[in-house]
Amino acid sequence: MHYRTLTLGLLALAAVLAVFAGLQEPARALDLKAKEYELKNGLKLVVIPDHRAPVVTHMVWYHVGAADEPPGKAGVAHFLEHLMFKGTDKIDPGEFSKIIARNGGQDNAFTSQDATVYHQRVASDRLPLVMKLEADRMRNLKLDDKTVLTERDVVLEERRSRTDNSPSAILSEQMMAALYVSHPYGAPVIGWEHEIKALNLKDAMEFYRQFYAPNNAILIVAGDVTKAQVEKLAKATYGKVKRVDAVKMQPRPQEAPPAAPRRVILKDKRAGKASFSRLYLAPSYNTAKEGEAEAIDLMMKILAGGSTSLMYNDLVVDDKIATSVAGWYESSGRDYGRIGFHALAAGKHSITDVEKALDKKIAKFIKNGPTQKQLERAKNSYIAEYVYGVDSQSTLARRYGWALVVGGTVKDVEEWPKRLEKVTIKDIARVAAKYLVEKASVTGLLFPIEKTKEAHKTTSKKRRKRG
């Protein structure tokens, strides 16, 4: 869930919970309020003052991601992210990151289905430089065919190393394609190989000119600054960039109600142990009905969130059917979310045994729900993580950025702990019955391919010849 991102150690958790012991509303422990502003050209600013250290985190969030790519151009959003470091009329190719590094800072970028984000961490007095550089490449990117084709090869190699060489990544990619039949979330952010190979300078620049504009972006600055300082700097840099009235997000195809469960089976000689995965189509925080997303979050914490969860205790500790069980709720999408489970079989148990045990546990949970004690423990854990995340500028900036870029508000972020506190046992039972539904699921099974005796003999002969 995008409002909380850090996992606490036991000591940190205990310390935070001790602070909460006498509070009726834990959110009051946070004297933190983001400041908002909008420039005349449409750029939205969010400033999160944090004066504990003379550093700032600067992030530009564009309202465009892989789900907004034209048909047949899967991967162009991520491809453009790479190309954004290639220079402008003022900055030579490859110099952007070097300038940041020479000024003692760090920079990077990432692409998701719904957003493309560029971020830097620098000393406070270097913020004017960073804003000047980022504002420059917002509309002044300079590319040529040679640069684009070279970087395309880099992206293809990234896909080969991260996806094509990983059986689990291939399975995950295929499961997503099966889960989202109509919606573009079914295509991988990095793109399909055959479509990446066809991307060119024209594709990149058309995507850039259409979506990279101040009125399609959010600037998040967290750290040793004031709202007034950021406003002044933003006007002097980003304020000079003209808005692009032609910016228009195309409507995305929506999913038809799922009618049947789907299964994806992958056999690969590179796989280690056999594994089980399951995805369920679910709403995101942006699209869920009031209170549902919070209830799903808590449900997954109770069911499969770590070594104290119900599934871990039953399948791993007590029954020893699995060596590991994990569950999660991907909740940050603009249009949809998903619930996920993953498990590895233990000893002589098969993946079929794991699947049956997990389905049995889900059915029991839907019927009985959690106890009040389990619910309170899950709430305390999440609220503690939320508060502990304040210690990280990056976490703060991402927390607000993720919410706003998909349609949320500052208020959504800051009042999340209060909404979490309102969730009841009945709420969790309701979302479990509504969303842990077989027909809305995709099950993925990964099996290793064992070498045949003949293949083993051939391999042995080759080894002896080389010796």
DSSP 273: S
pLDDT for residue 404 = 97
DSSP 88: B
Residue 376 three-state SS = helix
Q: Which residue has the tokens 């994990």?
A: 326
Give Cα 408 to chain centroid, integer Å: 16
Tokens of 130: 């960073």
* Count of CA atoms in the C-beta half-sphere (13 A) of 149: 3
pLDDT for residue 16 = 37
pLDDT for residue 246 = 82
Question: How far, in Å, CA of 421 to CA of 70, rounded?
Answer: 41
Question: How far, in Å, CA of 56 to CA of 35, rounded?
Answer: 15
Question: How far, in Å, CA of 415 to CA of 290, rounded?
Answer: 13
CA-closest candidate to residue 431, choices 315, 332, 285, 314: 285
Q: Which residues of 393-410 are buried (b: 16+ CB within 10 A; e: fewer)?
A: bebbbbbbbbbbbbebeb
Question: How far, in Å, CA of 400 to CA of 333, rounded?
Answer: 14
pLDDT for residue 21 = 39
pTM metric for this prediction = 0.89
Domain with CATH 3.30.830.10 in the chain: 32-240, 262-448
pLDDT for residue 338 = 98
Q: Looking at the structure, give the CATH architecture of the domain made up of residues 32-240.
A: 2-Layer Sandwich (3.30)
Question: How far, in Å, CA of 436 to CA of 445, rounded?
Answer: 18
Instruction: Show which residues are catalytic.
Output: 81
pLDDT along the chain (467 residues), means of 10: 35 36 41 87 96 96 97 97 96 95 97 98 98 98 96 98 97 98 97 98 97 97 96 98 88 94 96 94 97 98 95 96 97 97 95 96 96 97 90 93 96 94 97 97 94 47 44
Question: How far, in Å, CA of 444 to CA of 267, rounded?
Answer: 11
Say if residues 405 and 61 touch (Cβ distance below 8 Å).
yes
Fold of 262-448: Cytochrome Bc1 Complex; Chain A, domain 1 (3.30.830)
The DSSP annotation for 153-213 comes to: HHHHHHHIIIIIT-HHHHHHHHHHHHH-SSSGGGS-TT--HHHHTT--HHHHHHHHHHH-S
